Amino acid sequence: MEGTAMDNRQAFEPREIVQEDDANLRITWADGQICRYRAPQLRRMCPCAQCVNEWTGERILRAEAVSDDLTIKDIQLVGRYALSFRWSDGHEAGIYSFRYLRQLCDAGATDEVSEKDGGTDAA
């Protein structure tokens, strides 16, 4: 039982965080899962109070309001639990917990299918 709880916690710990270019982020998680995120998708899923109603949980930010050309201007580590982004549209209020980022990946809210280390075929 304890092993399962530890495994679940470790799944939300990044082993590597790489900004591949201005619009793409890759996170390799402790369990070997690799998730890729595009800047516009992450911005559209911003969890801050400006983008999501704190009382109802309703998304205030409309997806069409975020340009497909949006880029990441800066990424900051927030403690040992989250990332904060400064976007090319000037927004920088969201704190994306590692748990939230992993959930986005697991839910298919990223461009590419997530994969395990060594699970991809060479082209």
Domain total of the chain = 1
| Residue 122 covered by a domain | no
**Per-residue pLDDT tens digits for 39-76:** 999 999 999 999 999 999 999 999 999 999 999 999 99
| Residue 119 covered by a domain | no
CB atoms within 10 A of CB 96: 22
**Cα angle 41, 29, 94; round to 5:** 40
CB atoms within 10 A of CB 84: 15
- The domain that contains 37 carries what CATH number? 3.30.2020.30
Side chain identity at residue 73, one-letter code:
K
**Per-residue pLDDT tens digits for 71-101:** 999 999 999 999 999 999 999 999 999 999 9
